[in-house]
Copies of this chain bind each other. A is one copy, B any other.
Amino acid sequence: MSDIYPIKWNADTKILTLLDQTLLPHEEVYNEYADPEEVAEAIRSLVVRGAPAIGCAAAFGVVLASMRYTGTETGELKALVNSAMETLGATRPTAVNLFRALDRMGSFLDTLTEVPCDRIQSDLEKEALAILDEDLAACRRIGDFGSELVPANSKILTHCNAGALATAGYGTALGVIRSAFRDNKVSMVWVDETRPVLQGARLTAWEMARENIPATLITDNAAGAIMAAGEVDFVVVGADRIASNGDVANKIGTYNVAVLAERHNIPFVVAAPLTTVDPSLPTGESIPIEERSPDEVAGYGDLSWAPEKIHIYNPAFDVTPAELITAIVTEKGIVLTPFGPGLASLLVTE
């Protein structure tokens, strides 16, 4: 199991605590939040990141917005909450879990009619806690389903961090690795460093080291060479948004890994909760791709290594077409190609 929980809610103090992922692995700092705008900024600045974790954090941002209201007018309270939801929804465009969590909180709020304000506040709190609990439970089920796909004695490559840090806990892709490791199937985890923000080098490496899962950090550039050397048996990654047909938006470079895996006949598996599926999009082509600051590419932190005059393009995600994906592992089971009908049936029964 994993004891890493990036998002904690204190039911007594009504304070949200986020593990500051920008400071990992060298510092383990927990920030406290009582202000929804500050939660939005934490999402924007990657203090909390990873599609499911963003959704959970945003849900508590909504709770915090409601808690700030000290009056008794339901309409005023709802207006305040709706305004905070707009702010939270404008932070990052690609991960659909954010919008799913906000929609769920908003729809739930809509059902709370003729209810006093303090009851609305406590009901929203319960709903956010349910989102957090469900995500953690979903990750554990994803991990266990996914482990069934992992061959014995596997060397597994992963890209970015779809770990406990990216979820309520346990992780999606790293949930599969955790369960497979528990099942004695993992001989090595290859960790792509994942430029530019280095979620692999900083976060996945930290999670693996902390739990003594055998892992080796590589540059993203080395993934092809180790596949060509026969050193990768299985690839598992997370997802930020999955279109109806199974096309997957995930961290930039995921597509490169999928193309390399196909060349080497290595299973390429996506692990994600059903909240990551966006049934409104027929294919990955219409998934909005966040473009982030050139500073992330020009250097790292305060260090800049690129010449000042150079133009930079920094898309944070890419789209892997369904044809390159072997399986999508959800909390309700494993979906195989063609993904469309399989995903649709799981969503209907959700």
Contact A215 B253 (CB under 8 A): no
Known pairs A225-B255, A255-B228; A297 contacts B218 (CB<8 A): yes
Contact A222 B313 (CB under 8 A): yes
Contact A253 B219 (CB under 8 A): yes
Q: Which residues of A, 283-328, contact B by the 8 Å Cβ criterion?
A: 289, 297-298, 300-301, 303-307, 309-315, 318-319
Q: Bound state CA distance, A263 and B251, in angstroms?
A: 20
Interface-facing stretch out of A132-140, A172-180, A198-206 = A198-206
Number of A residues near B (Cβ < 8 Å) is 55
Residue of B nearest to A312 (CB): B217
Contact A319 B219 (CB under 8 A): no
Q: Bound state CA distance, A217 and B304, in angstroms?
A: 13
Contact A222 B315 (CB under 8 A): yes
A91 within 8 A of B: no
> What's the minimum C-beta distance from A26 to chain B, rounded to whole angstroms?
8
Chain B contacts of A256 at CB under 8 A?
Answer: 220-221, 223-224, 256, 260
A25 within 8 A of B: yes
A191 within 8 A of B: yes
Q: Bound state CA distance, A191 and B311, in angstroms?
A: 10
A4 within 8 A of B: no
Contact A314 B252 (CB under 8 A): no
A208 within 8 A of B: yes
Quick one: which of B214, B297, B307 contacts A219, CB cutoff 8 A? B297
Copies in the complex: 2
Contact A310 B218 (CB under 8 A): no
> What's the minimum C-beta distance from A326 to chain B, rounded to whole angstroms?
17
Q: Bound state CA distance, A256 and B257, in angstroms?
A: 8
Kindly name the residue among A251, A256, A318 whose own CB sees the greatest number of chain B CB atoms within 10 A: A256
> What's the minimum C-beta distance from A218 to chain B, rounded to whole angstroms?
5
A196 within 8 A of B: yes
Q: Bound state CA distance, A304 and B205, in angstroms?
A: 13
Chain B contacts of A194 at CB under 8 A?
Answer: 221
> What's the minimum C-beta distance from A92 to chain B, rounded to whole angstroms?
17
Chain B contacts of A216 at CB under 8 A?
Answer: 310-313
A15 within 8 A of B: no
Contact A306 B219 (CB under 8 A): no
Chain B contacts of A312 at CB under 8 A?
Answer: 216-218
Contact A219 B314 (CB under 8 A): yes
> What's the minimum C-beta distance from A333 to chain B, rounded to whole angstroms?
29
A129 within 8 A of B: no
| 8 A-B pairs whose Cβ atoms sit less than 8 Å apart in the complex | A198-B305, A205-B307, A209-B309, A215-B310, A216-B311, A219-B314, A225-B255, A256-B256
5 A-B pairs with the lowest CB-CB distances in the bound complex, closest first: A221-B253, A225-B318, A25-B307, A224-B256, A224-B255
